[in-house]
Each structure stands twice: as structure tokens, then as C-alpha cells.
Amino acid sequence: MNVTPLALHSTRAVRDALRAHGWDGGTAATAADGASAAAFHMTGLDDASLEALVHFGGRLGLEVLTGPGWALVSGSRSRLSAFARPWTVPEPLREAAMLVGLALPPEPPRAWRTAAGDIPLDRPVIIGILNVTPDSFSDGGAHAGVDAAIVHAERLLAEGAAVLDLGGESTRPGRDRLVPEEEELARVVPVLEALVRRFPGVIVSIDTMKAGVARAALGAGAAVVNDVTAFRHDPAMARVVAGSAAGAILMHSRGPALEIASTERAEYGADPVGTVLDELRQSLHGAAAAGIGAERIVLDPGLGFSKTAEQSLQALDQLAAFASLGRPLLVGPSRKRFLGAATGRDVPERDTATAAACALAWDRGARLFRVHDVAAARDALLLAHALGGSAPAA
């Protein structure tokens, strides 16, 4: 007899063991997903619900920890799925069972629809940052102007970027004015037109919170709108995106545009991740109500925006919680303050930490990665992807 422990931080070990015994890949992957662990924090429970949860959850093989009005429930996804059937649980647990069912992540989306076609999500998608602003916190002025922007775009694409994110207004901390729409248009439209001519078929995302800029950029060839306020800043933005075929990136942030990169609105109570999740859900519902199809939406938890360094680290660590919203997840950790807080590095020295954050985010469910240094992130993500059981890209 031989007994070998299986590491359960990912599903690969279980999947590989089953395949070694002759299971086909699809069946092995499904079984491995069912064996993976998940946990839920429940609050607002009355005494009858707590008592029923301890007894019924125990019979299902779930671990249940409780206190006054709260419980932590954990176990395999298959056991939690068995719990998430309101018609089978005791009456005091029906609401809890329904909410667990809603919070269990659905099948991950296989692609993201944009105006330039679908982007497959079976491997990491790197979005290269192309700032044409004079005051970006990281590379202000370095790529302003058409010629400099084209040179940098060529480098980003050569290093492995699948999308270029073109921005004409910095969201750096401490800025004291919004860029007028005419000025932002003058920065981004000539560059966008040159990109489309120079790189036919390139997928360009326009990073803007202004509906007028988004409209002009989509007309000039952009395929995605990346709004760091998730349509909060300009109510017309949702209509512009809905009236196009563009993909949309909705990022979590709080407060007026000049405050989103600060910690002015970073009060989230005892459950920061849960609060961000609820607010992203509201943004998703708002986009759907405007007529934007779910297949066109990517969600970004907004690392470094309206969050302390610790809150950003929590959001990065608990990315899998956002998968319950059923949309692809994008992270933008590149050179952010929370990386500096963790490493002690200044902004120009944070690319190694950025690459590490991307690899950790892939393992936690992110599929799109917005970065300045594409080459470093690409290598880290190829390794993370290979550890997940897939062959690296050639």
C-alpha cells in the first residue's frame, strides 16, 4: 500500500491523479473542480438557522464554525452544491441555501466579446498600458505624441500584449484637475488612428471616463471601453457602449473622479471584499439594464483605487470571490502603491512585484492583466499557466 498526499491549492493534483487511472480529461477536470474547497462567511443568522446549519451541514460533511449571528461554512464544492438546494434543506436554512447557490462561481466564461471579435480566455490575456499623458504616475510624458506612442505600442505587442489600453487622462494620486474633453480627444484620437493604420487588426481599449471620448475612439477603431468609474462619472457612457459592439471593462472605485486614486472613500467596514463585491454587482446590473450584454463585460476590482494597501492586498488574495459574478476578471496591479508598501520599492522598481502579483492573480481566477512591463508579466503568467496543467505557448 502507498499513500501520497495531494496538494489542493489548485485542482491539478487531483485531475492528474484521475487521468493517471484512465479518466478522460474533461471528466477528470469536472471531478477535480468538485473536490476543490470553498468557504462562505454568513452573517445575520438567527438561532434557529444556526442550530439547523450545524446539524444539517455536519450531515453533509461540511465544516461549520459559528458565533452569535454568524457562521463560517467550508467544504468541497460538491458538498456545498448539495447544500445549495433550498428545496432539500430545513426551512430555517432555505434563504442561506439560496444565497450560497448564487455565490458559488458558475462555469468560467471562455471568451470576452469585443468589437474586434472574441478574445479567448483559456490562457492569460495581457493588456499593455499605452499612456499618452504628460503626468502619469509611472511613465508620464514618455509616450506622448504619435511617433513615441507607435514605437512603444510596437514594443508592447512584440512582448506579448494582446490588447493595447490607450489613455489620455492620468488617474494618478494627487491630481487637482480633470482634463477637458477636447484636450483628451487631441491626445488619443491621432494616436488611435495611427495605431489602426500601423497595426491592422490590433485590439485597442480606450481608457476614459468621458462618453464623448469613448464615442470618438470607437468611431476611430477602438474595440473596448475601459471606464475606471464603471459608468459613474458620465451617465451617458453606458448608452454609448450599449449602442456599439464594444467590450466594456467596469472597474470598482468610489467617489468623484479626482478622488478615486486616493483613500478618501476607503471605509468598507468589517468585510471590504464583500462590500467591493456588492458594489461591482451593482455596476454589472446597471450595465445590463443599459442593454450591454454580459458577454461583453469584464470586471476589475480596482486594486489601488479607493482602497488602502491592505485592502488592495485583500482584494488580490480573495479574487476568487469575484468569480461569483460570472464575468471574466481583470487586474491592474502594475506599479501600484500597495506593491510599494509590500516591497519597499519605488514606482520604477515595481515590475518584478507586478509580475508576481499577476501570477498570483491567475491562480486566483483573473484572466486579463493590465501592465506596463509586458515582458516580465508574460513570463510570470506563462509559468502560472503551465503550473495549471496547460502547455506554455510556443
CATH code of residue 78: 3.30.70
In a domain, 94, yes or no: yes
Q: To the nearest whole percent, how much of the chain has pLDDT over 90?
A: 82
d(CA 236, CA 240): 6
Per the domain annotation, does 10 fall within a domain? no
In a domain, 257, yes or no: yes
> Nearest Cα to 319, choosing from 375, 376, 357, 372?
357
Residue-level pLDDT at 36: 86
Residue 14 resides in a domain: no
Report yes or no on 86 lying in a domain: yes
Confirm whether 28 is domain-assigned. no
> In the listed set 51, 79, 103, which residue is the last one of a domain according to the structure?
103
Give how many domains the chain has, as a whole number: 2
Q: What percent of the chain has pLDDT over 70?
A: 95
Last residue of a domain, one of 103, 122, 151: 103
Residue numbers of the domain that contains 341 = 111-387
pLDDT one-digit tens code per residue, 133-174: 875 555 555 556 899 999 999 999 999 999 999 999 988 777
Which residue numbers are catalytic?
A: 336, 370
Domain identity same for 52 and 184: no
- CA 353, 358, 364, 366 torsion-angle sign: positive
Domain boundary among the residues 64, 80, 103 is at 103
Residues 300 and 163 in one domain: yes
- Write the pLDDT tens digit of every residue in 288-340: 999 999 999 999 999 999 999 999 999 999 999 999 999 999 999 999 999 99
Which CATH number does the domain housing residue 350 bear? 3.20.20.20
Looking at the structure, tell me whether residues 191 and 128 fall in a common domain: yes
Single pTM value for the model: 0.92
Domain assignment present for residue 78? The answer is yes
267 within domain boundaries: yes
Average per-residue pLDDT for the chain: 92
| Cα–Cα distance measured from residue 21 to residue 123, given in angstroms and rounded to the nearest whole number | 27
The residues, any chain, with a CB within 8 Å of residue 17's CB and separated by 6 or more, are 6
Q: 59 and 115 share a domain? A: no
Residue 392 confidence (pLDDT):
39
Residue 182 has a pLDDT of 96
Question: pLDDT grade, residue 347 (50/70/90)?
Answer: very high
**How far apart (Å, rounded) are the C-alpha atoms in residues 267 and 147?**
43
285 and 163 part of one domain: yes
